Amino acid sequence: MHIVLDETAMAAAGQGNVLASRLIHRAHAETGWFLYAPACALVEADRARPGPAEHLAALPGITVLDLDLPAALAVAQHETWAAAHSRHAAQPTADRPDGAIVATTLPKRWGGQPVRILDLTP
């Protein structure tokens, strides 16, 4: 299971959201569960509420995704960097042929986007 945390999911994790906490636990404790934190979304989550970025980046079950050239080019074409980097991170790759699911607390924001959503709204 490959899951990309958008900035709303990261902020929710920092505020004690039970569903986000379960994802983090599973990624740490269970084989086959992978959580990704796109760097742009991590920055935006920390801007909204200082603190969770450093904490999430330090967790062993979360992989921070750098803003490499393909991601930067994808981000440049969209309005918000956080959403664009999350969307880019969820696209299929050689390691994730089916792509990844975007975990969010704002599922309506992703309407019409070519990504699968995991609603973390309690």
DSSP for 97-113 reads TT--EEEES-GGGGTTS
Residue 70 CA from chain centroid, whole number: 17
pLDDT at position 68: 86
Q: In the 8-state DSSP scheme, what is residue 117?
A: E
Question: pTM of the predicted model, to two decimals?
Answer: 0.92
Burial of 77 (0-12, 13-18, 19+ CB in 10 A): exposed
In the numeric block, which tokens belong to residue 53?
Answer: 């970025």
pLDDT at position 73: 83
The Cα–Cα gap between 9 and 21 comes to 10
Query: Which amino acid is residue 70, in one-letter code?
Result: P
Output the tens digit of pLDDT for each of the chain's 122 residues. 999 999 999 999 988 899 999 999 999 999 999 999 999 999 999 998 888 888 898 998 999 999 888 888 877 777 788 999 999 999 999 989 999 999 999 999 999 988 999 999 98
